[in-house]
Amino acid sequence: MTTTPPGHTLITGASSGIGAALAREYARRGRPLVLTARRVDRLQALADELSAQVPVEIIAADLADPATPSALFAEAQRRGLFVATLVNNAGYGVPGRYLSADWDTHARFLQVMLTAVAELTHRFLPSMEAAGHGRILNVASMAGLVPASAGHTLYGASKAWMIKFSEALAQESRPRGVHVTALCPGFTLTEFHDVTGTRDRVSRMSPGMWLDAAQVARAGVDAVEAGRVLCVPGWRYKLIRQMAKLLPDALMHRIVAARAKDFRDAE
Residues with active-site annotation: 155
For residues 2 and 217, give the distance between their C-alpha atoms in angstroms, rounded to a whole number: 18
Cβ neighbour number for residue 141 with a 10 Å cutoff: 23
For residues 244 and 43, give the distance between their C-alpha atoms in angstroms, rounded to a whole number: 38
Is the Cβ–Cβ distance between 145 and 192 less than 8 Å? Answer: no
CA 236 to centroid of chain Cα atoms: 20
For residues 232 and 62, give the distance between their C-alpha atoms in angstroms, rounded to a whole number: 28
Is the Cβ–Cβ distance between 190 and 18 less than 8 Å? Answer: yes
Residue 144 DSSP code: G
Is the Cβ–Cβ distance between 155 and 144 less than 8 Å? Answer: no
